[in-house]
Structure 1
């Protein structure tokens, strides 16, 4: 049986309901912030920690959570030095940045996840090919679309 890394991911909205998308610092594709759930954490505390680490802010509100989890498999040629999971099982959150939130991609310089970011509309995001994460991204976006599309 395949083993999946327990993980959280966030779709981040600004006040105009545009979606945050970051260019990964490791050269991979654009994507949403995500990260592993550490021992003793629940998914909500993990997403708060991950967003603090990856985008440098805790100034946001959780406005939705996907019911259950979404899974994706890593490509066969993708290897990790410290673990051998088949993929990730993710708890998706929809969050809205507070107006005073400041994005700081270098807030944790020991592990910079994103080199830059932009805010895009749902229509623009749905035109992007996210590779092996495409299906999961589209499922999460479809679930939250009624909230994202409200203005």
Structure 2
């Protein structure tokens, strides 16, 4: 049995990408058939990497998107813990969950810029097999249940942004 308290959190970024209608990008996790397979882009921060630079890198690596401008940064790190059955297995058994720095961006490109099947010009492994625009308030219901409290904090942090596009 793995001692949860002895494991650190993995530092990551999360990205809420808003279109001109105030909706956010959600990607469907590749190969997952569960109804909660939708999420916003996210990824690990490399050692010594600035979180904002990481966010831009992850966005490109997962969606091919570059046409964005920063709207906001969540005021604090947002955490989630892995469920007991994934502890010691997920993240190569090294972490208890993630500590995420969330950023909100405005997307200024055309939807045709988004390519989740061959992201980054085909230089990166696809993490999503589909995508759509969704209301930010609906995202907690789309994510796997153990990440739902983290997504509720994201909604709280960026809840005023959709009205800016009205």
TM-score of the alignment, normalized to the shorter chain, above 0.5: yes
Conserved in 2, the CA contact under 8 Å of 1:20 and 1:117? yes
After the TM superposition, which segments of 4 or more aligned residues of structure 1 sit over 6 Å from their partners?
none
**Distance between the aligned counterparts of 1:129 and 1:56, measured in 2?**
22
Total equivalences in the alignment: 151
RMSD: 1.9
Structure (1 or 2) with the larger CA radius of gyration: 2
Q: Which residue in the other structure is 1:138 paired with?
A: 152
Conserved in 2, the CA contact under 8 Å of 1:19 and 1:119? yes
Conserved in 2, the CA contact under 8 Å of 1:122 and 1:149? no
**Quick one: which of 81, 98, 120 aligns to 1:88?**
98
Whether 1:16 and 2:21 are equivalent positions in the alignment is yes
Paired residues for 1:119-130 under 5 Å: 119-125=133-139, 127-128=141-142, 130=144
Gaps of 5+ in 1: none
1:90-122 C-alpha deviation (Å, 9 max, x unpaired) = 000111111346101112445211110111123
Gaps of 5+ in 2: none
Query: Secondary structure at 2:70's aligned position in 1?
Result: strand
Relative distance call for 1:130 and 1:148 in structure 2 (3 A) is farther
**Distance between the aligned counterparts of 2:57 and 2:39, measured in 1?**
18
Provide TM-score, normalisation by structure 1. 0.90
